[in-house]
Structure 1
Amino acid sequence: MNKKILGGVSALAVGVVGTGVYLAVPAVASSSPSTTAPAKAAERHPGKRVRAARAARGIHGEATVRTKKGFAQVDWQRGTLTATSGGTLSVRSADGVTWQWKTDGNTKVRKGGAKSTVANLATGDFVVVLGRDASGARTAKRVIVPKKVPARATASPGPSHS
């Protein structure tokens, strides 16, 4: 009985995190910042801003999201770009977890709110990486270098948990 309850609670927690990521990703990836759009959205949906803020606390994870073609498994990570080498990005999160992300011609990069390229990414950049895990290799679909870096994002990490 306890295993069933624990499984249900775990599934609920994963669903909540996935929903938060699903709601936060369009806000992070938006290319046209507007001061009136968020205010109007907050008036129509007062809890949405709070949910997005809570989801923004996450630093890495996996979630199942609904797409136009069905469901998809999405990986995401926020952290510091520690290395770029031969189409591979190494990103270290605040908790010390380091993931490698492969890039290809389909990887879209936004740096400081403008379109950019993987070649323009620099070691030490704070990045948000979104992609998929295909047979053990994470492939970056989007890499975002925000204009403003959250204060806690640059806190020194604890021990590595690769």
Structure 2
Amino acid sequence: MILMASGTEKEPSIGMPQLDFSNFDNQAFWLIVFLISVFIVIKVLVIPRMETTLTNRRKIIEEDIQEAEEFRDKAVEIEKTLNLELESAREKANEILRAAKDQVKSNSLEALSEIDLKIDEMVDKASENILLIKKKANKDIQALSKKLAPDIVKAILPKNIK
């Protein structure tokens, strides 16, 4: 046992020293000092850093959201422009196609009319050639008839008739 300088001897405490009510006032004081110091450290050091971090995160998130909205607006604008240009290109393509069809149609009509004219010319020439051939055939028939007529008459008629 430990003897104190005063000469009084203390009883040894049984159990947990934290539950010893003889030094409870001292423990309560240091607990309050410790909690106040932890509170001050948290209040002065930790919370401002956390607020700064949270503020920076909010700022970054807001900037990202704003940037995303701007990109979305630009994308919508680009899509509208693209749709207008696409529609314009379709209209131009349809006009070119229509013009090509019209030109092909007019070219084919011109070609058909030229072919019709050539056919008409050929038919006219063929008709003229047929008429010439008919006239020549008629002349040949008449000439041959004139030559053969006396011989035919002689062959048909008896020889006694004169």
The TM-score with structure 2 as length reference comes to: 0.19
Higher strand share: 1
Q: Which has the higher contact order (CA 8 A, sep 6+)?
A: 1
Higher helix share: 2
**Higher Cα radius of gyration:** 2
